[in-house]
Structure 1
């Protein structure tokens, strides 16, 4: 069972990385929170959760042990699979998620795409006590990478928002509301769009 990976970042996209560890490339799915702070290249260290299915093995990577523990807790809730758990962590910082669960803030949770009121209530019911016992673990912080110009920034951002569960029309409206410089990196566009969508 793989629990930690340290290696060179060979490829980075909005939803996954390829990490070169001794010449072997590991494909690791990540939440947006990790995408924002990981560098474009260089050495990375991720806490890994290995998810085994009958027909595949998937690796999920997190910058901190706390994020990984929250991911595992989310998976313990009936009806929550890895895709939804990653989506939750992509839309709310770990500290805010812990606070929302422990305080029973169903409105904050229900604002996340793919989480309705029933799922929000179920998350609170099943995780409120567990999350209270979850000690905040120290993680690895990475400096922000220098921005790079992306020719298809808006298309990439739109695709990311749709993958996160937003409807295309809703995502396009949020993107149209942003005032952007021509060289704004996709990370910044995504952050701005999510701020509008989560209001």
Structure 2
């Protein structure tokens, strides 16, 4: 299996990137291809999942191992294929999605395209308690105080930071402070985040 691709990023499409590895162009399908925009024409390492079926072979690419692991867990859930998993990854940060599973937030899960009530319950049934190692959050037990919910504005701000080249781990370190900003819009959260990241 192909675990990663290391080469020159030569093109970015709406749903995939093209990486040149010693003269061979690999098409790698991604949840957010333009997250790699800053690396265009530069050397990149993209974590990959080699999806093999009788009638197809596809490379799916990810920014880090956490995103790749969440993808593999999602496609193990009945009713979710690779395209559905990518659609989920494109619309949420890893930690926010895992927290939604841990608190059994059906409403949040059904906000993604193709995820109905039945599939949302299946995601919770199959994955609750099995993803805490990906994001730095504890698995809740009976009587625990629920995790603080990440607002949609904060989720959008986190995705904007990723598109600017910041890593998942860098963003996680400032998320608690961003949650204390209060009711505000995405742009203000991004400005606050950039100020915090420049201090670190």
TM-score, with length taken from structure 2: 0.65
Q: Tell me by how many angstroms 1:41 deviates.
A: 2.8
Segments of 4+ in structure 1 off by > 3 A?
133-136, 141-145
Listed as ranges, the gaps of 5+ residues in structure 1 are 146-199
CA distance 1:97–1:135, shift in 2 (3 Å): closer
Q: Tell me by how many angstroms 1:91 deviates.
A: 1.1
3-state SS of paired residue (1:78): coil
Counterparts of 1:11-30 in structure 2, within 5 Å, are 11-30=11-30
Q: How many residues align?
A: 140
Is residue 99 of structure 1 aligned with residue 99 of structure 2? yes
Q: Tell me by how many angstroms 1:13 deviates.
A: 1.3
Q: Tell me by how many angstroms 1:37 deviates.
A: 4.4
Q: Tell me by how many angstroms 1:121 deviates.
A: 1.3
* Counterparts of 1:134 and 1:17, CA distance in 2: 25
Counterparts of 1:12-161 in structure 2, within 5 Å, are 12-32=12-32, 34-39=33-38, 40-134=40-134, 144=164
* Counterparts of 1:8 and 1:142, CA distance in 2: 20
Q: Tell me by how many angstroms 1:53 deviates.
A: 1.0
* Counterparts of 1:84 and 1:76, CA distance in 2: 12
Contact 1:10 1:41 (C-alpha < 8 Å) held by counterparts:
yes
3-state SS of paired residue (1:28): strand
TM-score, with length taken from structure 1: 0.65
Q: Tell me by how many angstroms 1:114 deviates.
A: 1.2
Contact 1:37 1:142 (C-alpha < 8 Å) held by counterparts:
no
By relative contact order (CA 8 Å, sep 6+), the higher-ranking structure is 1
Q: Tell me by how many angstroms 1:3 deviates.
A: 0.2
Q: Tell me by how many angstroms 1:134 deviates.
A: 3.6
